[in-house]
Structure 1
Amino acid sequence: MALNSLDVAKKAAKAADEKSAEDILVLGMDGISILADYFVICSGTSTTQVNAIVNSIEGELEEKIELIRKEGTDGARWAVLDYGDVIIHVFHDEQREYYQLEKLWGDAERIDWSK
């Protein structure tokens, strides 16, 4: 059974949570951005944790949906995983505070990913 984009976003959030990601948000981008249906934003406190979160998300989704593009894992300060309708941002906490994407997309609906 194919996953819809909301399922992908929730699975990504749960995979990030398994690696103790902080402040995990799933934002519904319908009517706000043409880039994706959902953004997942989370952060880690070290480059090691950022890489662990990215690996956990990729492992959870690898057989379910194609990863279109991955950027930023070399320095592990801000990684982006593009799954088409779902874009996942994994920040080092310092970068997250600096860029404040959740404020940029402040009108987006916050989705409860824990259900």
Structure 2
Amino acid sequence: MTASAEARETALLAAQAAADKLATDVSIVDVSDRLAITDAFVLAAAPNERQVQAIVDEVEERLRQHGVKPVRREGVAEARWVLLDFVDVVVHVQHAEERAYYALERLWKDCPTIPFVDRAVPAAASPGSGTLSADDADPGSSDPVSLVPDPTEDLTEDDLADEDVVDGDPLQDVPLDDGADSGPGSAPEGGDAGTTGR
């Protein structure tokens, strides 16, 4: 016997509500074969009590919008391990320390899980994929990232010699001078600032 379609839908709604409030380690365990009192457990964790409470509030609100109300709430005052009993589904929102210590997944490891994927996560992203840099671009993709040289990068005199000279460039006829005084606004040797040395 597996969880009913209604229980699965409720569990998925609860899991998504928890994920929307940044819950971590969200999973759904089908306990219908082992327990007569409920069909599924939704497990979620949070790093602090305030986040636990925010997740609990969001799960209750989201399920209330679908006409599902909890028949029992436990642990709300301490907000370390809050249990919301929706009859067919029991939601456990735990502080990360309690989640690690009690390890409910290990306790129910013989039970199947109900697949849950957070809808906010892009379909192409995989756990631990992180962000992509320009070096990670797929050259065969329809929208490859073009790698453009950094315009602030220092160019050497050899680099400048290899560049195409643009017609009408006012500096194209000015000789490069390796002297210490050369630079913008400095006069060529033996002339004044108003001449170009032609």
TM-score range, shorter chain: over 0.9
- What residue in structure 1 maps to residue 87 of structure 2? 84
- The alignment partner of 2:27 has SS state of strand
Gaps of 5+ in 1: none
- What residue in structure 2 maps to residue 103 of structure 1? 106
TM-score w.r.t. length of structure 2: 0.55
Tell me the CA shift for residue 30 of structure 1: 2.1
Q: Which has the higher contact order (CA 8 A, sep 6+)?
A: 1
- What residue in structure 2 maps to residue 69 of structure 1? 72
The answer to whether the Cα contact below 8 Å between 1:32 and 1:107 also exists between their aligned partners in 2 is no
The residue identity in structure 2 corresponding to 1:13 is A
The answer to which structure has the higher helix fraction is: 1
Alpha-carbon RMSD: 1.3
- What residue in structure 2 maps to residue 6 of structure 1? 8
The answer to which structure has the higher strand fraction is: 1
- What residue in structure 1 maps to residue 22 of structure 2? 20
Identity %: 36
After superposing on structure 2, the runs of 4+ consecutive aligned residues of structure 1 that deviate more than 2 Å are none
Q: Which has the larger radius of gyration?
A: 2
Query: In the comparison of the two structures, how many residue pairs are matched?
Result: 113
Gaps of 5+ in 2: 120-198
- The alignment partner of 2:93 has SS state of strand
82-91 or 56-65: bigger deviation: 56-65
The answer to whether the Cα contact below 8 Å between 1:24 and 1:43 also exists between their aligned partners in 2 is yes
Write out per-residue CA displacement over residues 38-89 of structure 1, whole angstroms, 9 at most, x where no aligned residue: 0000100000100000001001011321210001011110000000010000
- What residue in structure 1 maps to residue 147 of structure 2? none
Q: Return the alpha-carbon distance in structure 1 between the equivalents of residues 78 and 33 of structure 2.
A: 33
TM-score w.r.t. length of structure 1: 0.93
